[in-house]
Amino acid sequence: RRCARQRMTMCSRSVLLLVAVFVPTLVQSFASHIIDVPGLSDLLSPNAVVYYEDDNSEAIDTLVSTRFYTTPFEPRIPTILVLPAIVEDVQVSVRYAYDQSLDFGVVGGGHGVGGLGHTSGLLIDMSGLTAVSVDTAAGLTTYQTGNNIGTVDLASKESGVYSPNGNCPQVGVGAVLHGGYGAMTKTRGLSIDNVVAYQVVTRTGELLSVTAESDSELFWGLRGAASMLGVVTEITIRHFPVDDHYGGSIIFTNVSALPKLVAYVNDNALDQINEFHVRFSVFSAPPPAIIVVEVTLWGNGDAFAALGGKEAVINGLIAAGEVPIAVNTVAANAYYEQQSFLGPIVADAPRGFNEYALNSATTTSFPVAAAQVVADAFAGNVPLGTIFFLHGYGGAFSAVGASDTAYAGRDMKWDFVSQISFPPDVPEAAAAGLSSATDALHRAIEEAVGEQDLSPHGYLNWGMNEAAHIRKAFGDNLERLLELKQALDPTNFFHRTYDLGNVGA
């Protein structure tokens, strides 16, 4: 099928316009159709919900289709859908699927882009497991994996702390199982670099509490490959105060600003300052193309003293763009506001299925020439729906050794993504043309970056379930990870998110 080789979409203003589904409301509307599944229903807790395809196809279709909106293939609709109310329901469901030799998948609390995790067998929807506990004395936050990033942020706000997570509130916290890129990555590292404990269900339904002390090898593997080894039901992660935050979002009204903004970052060596984080997003729709810059400056300001301080850096960035700005939300101690910037947009998000084509690459630098390629393309005739992202890395992210976690790609300083989304009823030939245009743009950007600066690694959350992308994410750690997989999951039961079992060393 077209685009099956293409990589997964990511959070953005155009395609990440899906707020986490309020599942209880949907469940209630179909409550009269819940039936018994022999050997499963009687083992679940009273508040767990089970749908069976033969009698509940409408309910399953609705619940599944509202969990993701962009996929390169026909969506998989499960035969059995379980919404657990307690962790023991997860254990029972996993063991049932394993004993019955059912294809198995699991989705978390947010969107399910790309259809990752979905199955035509038994699907667990974790969105009912949303407990969050903030322990300020220990400096730790513990949350169940039915949460999304926004709900964890809300639970943390009262305590004035944040745990390193992504920066899209509607993304499920399950995204952190493979990395967890966000507005603090250069300062604190990925989410997996800050996790201190996992609660995980094995293929036989056993519940394990895993720390570096209790099982160092499994803990190593879970930090980057968790969904391939079991079902993580709970994460305990370090948190940090937000009182040194200064940041927000700036919308530049003309794409011609992009090369100038990249030049400002490069010329002032901001990419070398660990306390400076930036993500550039270029959107083609609605025209004309615009740039959204999400920028965060952490710390007491000393890192920016040579540039005149935090406010001076932001003012310099705005001036460098040389075009009018439509929005500037940058402020001191505004972390939660920055995290929820997309909230009003996602409230009215369209649901359903779209198709897409996507390419991603990681680099050790991003030159102005590459930014100029992007600006010229978006100022010209790129198809509507085309999006470009540029994410900054380095700092604490790169300070972690390549073999310290299962995820290995610690050498990159930037990654960039070019993608397009389009309705599923676009004719085959037209869809192929849209995909080809996106491919051509990506190749042009890579050429401008230069082969010598392209990293051999990749960031797993930006990719589809394909062998080449998985190999890029784990690099030299792959053989060790496969040994762990063989010991814990020799039948490759957990394969619907990323299929580690069919990669090969």
pLDDT of residue 463: 61
Question: Is the residue at 113 inside a domain?
Answer: yes
271 in the same domain as 153 = no
- What is the domain-level CATH number for residue 301? 3.40.462.20
What is the C-alpha separation between 136 and 119, in angstroms, rounded?
A: 39
Question: Is the residue at 2 inside a domain?
Answer: no
197 in the same domain as 51 = no
48 in the same domain as 172 = no
Query: What letter does residue 21 receive in the DSSP assignment?
Result: P
pLDDT of residue 309: 97
As a dihedral over the C-alpha atoms of residue 183, residue 186, residue 191, residue 197, rounded to 10 degrees, the angle is -140
Question: Is the residue at 3 inside a domain?
Answer: no
Cβ–Cβ under 8 Å, residues 144 and 131: yes
3-state SS, residue 276 = strand
- What is the domain-level CATH number for residue 87? 3.30.43.10
Question: Is the residue at 8 inside a domain?
Answer: no
For residue 427 the two structure tokens come to 């004719």
Helix, strand, coil percent content, the chain, rounded in steps of 5: 40, 20, 40
DSSP secondary structure letters along 216-274: HHHHHHHHHHGGGT-EEEEEEEE-EESTT-EEEEEEES-TTHHHHHHHHHHHTTGGG-T
Q: Is 217 exposed, middle or buried (0-12, 13-18, 19+ CB in 10 A)?
A: middle
What is the C-alpha separation between 296 and 185, in angstroms, rounded?
A: 11
Which of these three, 93, 128, 163, is where a domain ends?
128
What is the C-alpha separation between 290 and 327, in angstroms, rounded?
A: 11
pLDDT of residue 169: 81
pLDDT of residue 21: 34
pLDDT of residue 316: 98
For residue 401 the two structure tokens come to 């050794």
155 in the same domain as 123 = no
What is the C-alpha separation between 119 and 107, in angstroms, rounded?
A: 10
Question: Is the residue at 67 inside a domain?
Answer: yes
- Counting as low any pLDDT under 70, the low residues of the chain are 1-36, 54-57, 62-75, 110-115, 342-355, 462-465, 504-505
3-state SS, residue 141 = strand
Cβ–Cβ under 8 Å, residues 406 and 339: no
Q: What is the pairing mode between strands 122-125 and 104-107?
A: parallel
What is the C-alpha separation between 447 and 412, in angstroms, rounded?
A: 17
pLDDT of residue 65: 65
251 in the same domain as 238 = no
48 in the same domain as 61 = yes
Give the CA angle between residues 491, 120, 478 to the nearest 5°.
Answer: 35
Cβ–Cβ under 8 Å, residues 171 and 160: no
Question: Is the residue at 500 inside a domain?
Answer: no
HSE, CB side, 13 Å, CA atoms: give it for residue 60.
Answer: 25
Q: Report the Cα 323 to chain-centroid distance in Å.
A: 31
For residue 48 the two structure tokens come to 């767990």
What is the C-alpha separation between 150 and 369, in angstroms, rounded?
A: 36
pLDDT of residue 263: 98
Nearest CA-CA partner of 69 in 424, 419, 462:
424
pLDDT of residue 19: 33
Which of these three, 198, 214, 242, is where a domain ends?
242
Question: Is the residue at 29 inside a domain?
Answer: yes
pTM to 2 decimal places: 0.89
343 in the same domain as 314 = yes
For residue 479 the two structure tokens come to 């053989």
- What is the domain-level CATH number for residue 166? 3.30.465.10
Which of these three, 222, 242, 262, is where a domain ends?
242
Number of domain units in the chain = 3
Q: Which long-range contacts (CB under 8 A, 24 or more apart) does 307-314 make?
A: 307/268, 310/246, 311/246, 313/268, 313/270, 313/276, 314/246, 314/250
Residue 302 is part of which domain span?
A: 246-462
pLDDT of residue 35: 53
pLDDT of residue 22: 39
Q: Is 344 exposed, middle or buried (0-12, 13-18, 19+ CB in 10 A)?
A: exposed
379 in the same domain as 344 = yes
pLDDT of residue 347: 45
195 in the same domain as 339 = no
Helix (H) or strand (E) holding 372: helix 368-379
What is the C-alpha separation between 89 and 79, in angstroms, rounded?
A: 18
Rounded to 5 degrees, φ, ψ at 454 are -80, 130
For residue 65 the two structure tokens come to 């289709």
* 110-119: b (≥16 Cβ within 10 Å) or e: bbbbbbbbbb
Question: Is the residue at 408 inside a domain?
Answer: yes
177 in the same domain as 290 = no
What is the C-alpha separation between 464 and 469, in angstroms, rounded?
A: 7
Residue whose token pair is 């997570």: 165
255 in the same domain as 180 = no
228 in the same domain as 213 = yes
pLDDT of residue 172: 84
3-state SS, residue 338 = helix
pLDDT of residue 27: 41
